[in-house]
Amino acid sequence: MNLLKWAICLIMLAAFAKMCSMESDSRNGPRADAVVESTEVVRELGSKNSSPPAKYHVYAHYVYEVGGREYRARYLVAITARESRANQEAAQFPAGRPITIGYNPKKPAYSVIVVPEIPRFHAVL
């Protein structure tokens, strides 16, 4: 049983490393102009004894073009414990706002918002 747990941990670690590598390739890759289409605030309930009891994830949905092809993506811009703060963060990305994204040149569908600058792990209290 311990071997199975270790195998699962290694698989999860490898997946996390791949995700970080893809984000790094996008963050450091070519730039493109993009436009915010919408924002989304997602309420996630915590476990029974968690504090805070809920978290709010704020996503910006945007559209951009690379090599004549249009892409749509979403990016996690903030995580917060308060709904009012989540709504404030979402208001930073109104529909129609121009932004700059970085994308992975090998896989242009993978992108991150680079302007305005958002810290990689942006948690807001």
Model confidence pLDDT, tens digit, residues 42-98: 999 877 777 778 899 999 999 999 999 999 999 999 999 999 999 999 999 999 999
The count of domains in the chain is 1
Q: Report pLDDT digits (tens) over 12-47.
A: 655 444 554 455 567 788 999 999 999 999 999 877
Structural domain range at position 27:
2-124
Q: How far is CA 75 from CA 9, 58, 69, in A?
A: 26, 8, 19
In this prediction, residue 72 carries a pLDDT of 98
pTM of the predicted structure, to 2 decimals: 0.75
**39: buried, middle or exposed (CB in 10 Å: 19+, 13-18, 0-12)?**
buried
